[in-house]
A and B are shown apart, each in its own frame.
Chain A
Amino acid sequence: MIARLKNILYFVLLFILSSTVFAKKIEISFWHSMAGQLGRTLNEIVKEFNDENANYHIKTVYKGTYPETLTSTVAAFRAGAKPDIVQIFDIATATMINPPGVIMPVHEVFTKVGLSLPLEQMIQPAIDYYSDRDNKLLALPFNISTPALFYNKDLFARGGLDPEESPKTWDDVGRISRILIKKGLVSNGFSSAWIGWSLFESFSLIHNLPFATQNNGFDSIDVKISFNNKEIQTFIKKLFNWQKENIFLYGGRLDDGQSFFTSEKCAMFIQSSGSYADIEPSVSFNLGMTRIPYLANYKESELGNLIGGAAIWVTNNLSNEKLLGIAKLFRFIMSPRIQLKWQNATGYISVINSKYLPKQESMTSTEKMLLEVQKFVISRENKYKGIRLGNYMQIRDLVERQLEAVWAGYTPADEALDLAAEEANRMLIRFNRNIK
């Protein structure tokens, strides 16, 4: 009897053991916002990882645009059906870490499973942007881009300018615009996409101007807005005057203004560096890309620009098995080979410093250009790591709305900035009240 019971017990034990050995793969859900070519590249990378790691299956799900993915995540959290890892855009960083309990910081994930990320090979601005006050990594910087100035080399040449001499300062942009407009080559000098990010916030960051107190919100959430300062006011006024001279052409908050550039209505265009790979093959002229213009009294070497894009966050309360899989995936993504593939296929900046990337035998002009872009962000001696605010999306939105009132001539620049700051401060107070 006892022997039989023992047998059964062995059998049961064997069954449990075998079921763990032959257990079905650990599935890790990964929500993202990468559509089209970007999505396909992401899926290729994930497939490669899944093939290499038999125990894990990363399941990618496209959840729409960045805001759509964030909202889906929020709703899923409330309904108790959250994803394991999720790609969230830069400006929602404060939302993800306040209050604690939504995510598990990436550095904790790695400590817990006993692995590490090649932090020394990763570029500092990317680490800074997604780190806490103690420089510990919160999320994995994934797709990174920075605002850049695109210009039409052919128009420069026809205007008697050296097409290889890229515009550096805002004065250059004004001078070149005037020349080209005067010669009747273009109707306007330049336009811009994502104006709140690529003109407004980036201007503040590269010139070391305070955007908000507490180190632009990196030190604490008790933040007050300080973007309504003299320098920015002067800059916005300048843009307004330039608009009257047809030097600056407003193209909306999104990237609609790009058609002004591709249709050669403008000679220059400010857009995310990530767009280079898309614009280059689709235009008939020679395309130049350079770092965003700065004020003439600043030294170029000091200027590292704001990064944008998105990071991958790990949600809280995951099993150790899942965390191990995630850590492996992150290490896989941070390998130089994958980073180079990612950069070349998508136009995003490699998070691994280009000196660690594999050498390429032959490169297309786009691939060459992409290697250069990293310099736009790394050579920084910046005072601020970036900008991190609660309710940042609404704040950017209301800044853009106020700027639109400036462009339309309804509100003078200084008044508009004060109004925006006042409203933004109210948003910050609301954010703090909501998370407490």
Chain B
Amino acid sequence: MKYDLFKNFFIHVLLILCILIIVFPLYIAIVASTHTAEALLNAPLPLLPGSEGLNNYTILLTKGAEVTGGQPLLPMLYNSFKLAMIVSLGKIFVSILSAFAFVYFKFPLRKFFFWLVFATLMLPIEVRILPTFQVVSTLGLMNSFSALCLPLIASATATFLFRQFFLTIPYALADAARMDGATPWRFFKDIILPLSRMNIVALFIIMFIYGWNQYLWPIVALTDSEMSTILIGISQLMSVADQIPQWNFVMGSAILAMLIPVVIIISLEKWFEKGLVR
């Protein structure tokens, strides 16, 4: 008994230690975002929050550009949100349908299409950025949100996960449905879709974050600064040539940029986890 108590205590201490290590960078970022840029130029950096926080965040959200570069972050946050929504919903739509077909149908060229789709897992957009840009231009989609979203939807992560899930659904179920004379569409709508509810939410979270966190493609694809996402804003802050990085603003925007996805993952955590438990 005493041994167990000690062990339990030890586990808690270990966990708290790990969490402190993981939270530390965030803490420092929050601290840095509450000081003046000047306070962060010299070596012993403050370890406790300063008094400039409100001021820094107000500037970042409403004016932004005045001090360092780019524009206010508020519209950028909205753009990121829009991008993340379109990408996640679009991905779920295309992948649940195709995963369904791949698992429950036998049709000519099934294997071929399967690998065609799964190949997208192997060559992410960073590697084919120039050709993708050309394709988007050729299709006349330049400078539109479709240009930003569509190439990001063309990835099979969600299909992969839906397939994994469908494979865990007992064969008997599908078999029974077929025996009852259900058409594939009814089987999909009445059985698979309700069963996948959890997975859809879980995937929505994953894909939302995927969309929100896109970095290189938006930089290349967007010519209109009004469509800038928050990560573009940060990269502009980081790379303003011939200027001093204003760490208070960089850290402030980093906090703002992670706020929405972090809140989503924490508040929807129950769904997220349940969705993964079959």
Contacts and interface: CB of A to CB of B under 8 A. Distances in A.
Interface string A255-272: 100110011110000001
Given A64-B219, A262-B42, A265-B43, A282 B133 contact: no
Contacts of B133: 72, 75, 79
Contacts of A35: 69-70, 236, 239-241
Contacts of B37: 282
Interface in B122-171: 130, 133-134, 136-138, 142
B180 interface: no
Interface residues of B, number: 29
B219 A68 contact: yes
Contacts of B223: 31, 61, 63, 72
Considering residues A61, A64, A145, A274, which has the most beta carbons from chain B within 10 angstroms of its beta carbon? A64
A65 B130 contact: no
A15 interface: no
A37 B69 contact: yes
A400 B210 CA distance: 34
B68 interface: yes
Interface in B21-69: 37-38, 41-43, 65, 68-69
Contact of B243 (A64, A71, A275): A275
B138 A79 contact: yes
B138 A278 contact: no
B242 A284 contact: no
A278 B42 contact: no
A38 B243 CA distance: 10
A396 to B, nearest CB: 15
B242 A278 contact: yes
Considering residues B41, B42, B130, B136, which has the most beta carbons from chain A within 10 angstroms of its beta carbon? B41
A341 to B, nearest CB: 18
B225 interface: yes
B242 A347 contact: yes
Interface string B221-238: 001110000000001100
Contact of A75 (B41, B69, B137): B137
B17 interface: no
A40 interface: yes
A145 B236 CA distance: 20
Nearest to A89: B241
B130 A75 contact: yes
A8 B107 CA distance: 64
A435 interface: no
Nearest to A68: B219
A57 to B, nearest CB: 16
Contacts of B18: none
Interface of A: 31, 33, 35-40, 61-66, 68, 71-72, 74-76, 78-81, 145, 255, 258-259, 262-265, 272, 274-275, 278-279, 282-284, 347
Given A68-B220, A75-B220, A279-B244, 6 more contacts: A35-B236, A35-B241, A36-B240, A262-B41, A262-B42, A272-B242
